[in-house]
Structure 1
Amino acid sequence: MPSSIDRKAADLLLSVIETPDAVISGSVLDGYYGRVAPALKAAGILQPKDHSRAAVSLVDHEDEPVNLTWSPEHRAYGYFSPSAGWVNVPGDQLATYRVNFNTLLEQLLERLDLSPRTGPVELVPDLLWEVGDARLPGRSKRTSVWIGRRLCEPAIWKSFIDAARKRPAPGLRIVLSFTPGNRLPTDVHLGHTLIAVRDVADHNGHAVVPDLLAARVAAGSQLNDDLITMAADGASLTVRGTRYAFSGSKQRAIIRQLYDAWKSGHPELLTAEVLESAGYSTSVNTLAKAFSGRAEWRDFIREENGRCWLFL
Structure 2
Amino acid sequence: MTSSSPKTDPRLLTLISAIAETPAARISGQVLTTFHGRAGKQLLTDGFLAAVGEETAVTSMADHDDEPVTLSPSPDGRTFGYFSSNAGWVVPATKERAVYGLQFGPLFAKLLEGLDCPQAARPIELIPHILWEVGAARVPGRAARVPVWISRRLADPSTWQALLEQVRRRPAPGLRVILSLTPDERIPQSFVHGHEIVAIQSVTDFDHGIRIDPDILAARLANGRLDDSPVTMTADGGSITVRGKTYTFTGTKQRAIIRHLYEAWCSGDPQCLTAEVFEAAGSGDQVRSLGKAFKGRSDWREFIKEEGGQCWISL
> If the length of structure 2 is used for normalisation, what is the TM-score?
0.91
Letter in 1 for 2:175: L
In 2, the alpha carbon distance for the partners of 1:62 and 1:44 equals: 33
In 2, the alpha carbon distance for the partners of 1:116 and 1:140 equals: 20
User: Equivalent of 1:306, from 291, 300, 309?
Assistant: 309
Where does residue 111 of structure 1 map in the other structure?
114
The answer to whether the Cα contact below 8 Å between 1:108 and 1:207 also exists between their aligned partners in 2 is yes
1:51 aligns with 2:45: no
**TM-aligned CA deviation for residue 221 of structure 1:** 2.2
1:181 aligns with 2:184: yes
Where does residue 215 of structure 2 map in the other structure?
211
RMSD: 2.1
Letter in 1 for 2:278: L
**TM-aligned CA deviation for residue 119 of structure 1:** 2.9
In 2, the alpha carbon distance for the partners of 1:289 and 1:231 equals: 24
The within-5 A match list for 1:33-112 is: 33-61=36-64, 63-73=66-76, 75-112=78-115
The answer to whether the Cα contact below 8 Å between 2:150 and 2:178 also exists between their aligned partners in 1 is yes
| Structure 1 residues 200 and 307, CA gap change in structure 2 (3 angstroms) | same
Letter in 2 for 1:213: L
The answer to whether the Cα contact below 8 Å between 2:106 and 2:121 also exists between their aligned partners in 1 is no
Identity %: 48
User: Equivalent of 1:120, from 104, 107, 123?
Assistant: 123
User: Equivalent of 1:220, from 220, 224, 231?
Assistant: 224
- What per-residue deviation string (whole Å, max 9, x for no partner) do you get for residues 273-305 of structure 1? 212221223212221111111111111112223
> If the length of structure 1 is used for normalisation, what is the TM-score?
0.92
- The 3-state SS of whatever aligns with 2:211 is coil
Deviates more, 1:273-282 or 1:209-218: 273-282
User: Equivalent of 1:11, from 14, 39, 59?
Assistant: 14
Q: Which runs of 5+ in 1 are unaligned?
A: none
In 2, the alpha carbon distance for the partners of 1:91 and 1:115 equals: 38
In 2, the alpha carbon distance for the partners of 1:28 and 1:51 equals: 13
The answer to whether the Cα contact below 8 Å between 2:82 and 2:90 also exists between their aligned partners in 1 is yes
**TM-aligned CA deviation for residue 260 of structure 1:** 0.7
Where does residue 250 of structure 1 map in the other structure?
253
**TM-aligned CA deviation for residue 84 of structure 1:** 1.3
- What per-residue deviation string (whole Å, max 9, x for no partner) do you get for residues 162-214 of structure 1? 00000001122221111111111111322222211111112368321111111
| Structure 1 residues 117 and 153, CA gap change in structure 2 (3 angstroms) | closer
The answer to whether the Cα contact below 8 Å between 1:180 and 1:198 also exists between their aligned partners in 2 is yes
In 1, the alpha carbon distance for the partners of 2:36 and 2:133 equals: 31
Letter in 1 for 2:129: D
Q: Which runs of 5+ in 2 are unaligned?
A: none
Q: How many residues align?
A: 310
The answer to whether the Cα contact below 8 Å between 2:83 and 2:90 also exists between their aligned partners in 1 is yes
**TM-aligned CA deviation for residue 118 of structure 1:** 7.3
Where does residue 158 of structure 1 map in the other structure?
161
In 2, the alpha carbon distance for the partners of 1:92 and 1:4 equals: 28
Where does residue 291 of structure 2 map in the other structure?
288
In 1, the alpha carbon distance for the partners of 2:32 and 2:119 equals: 35
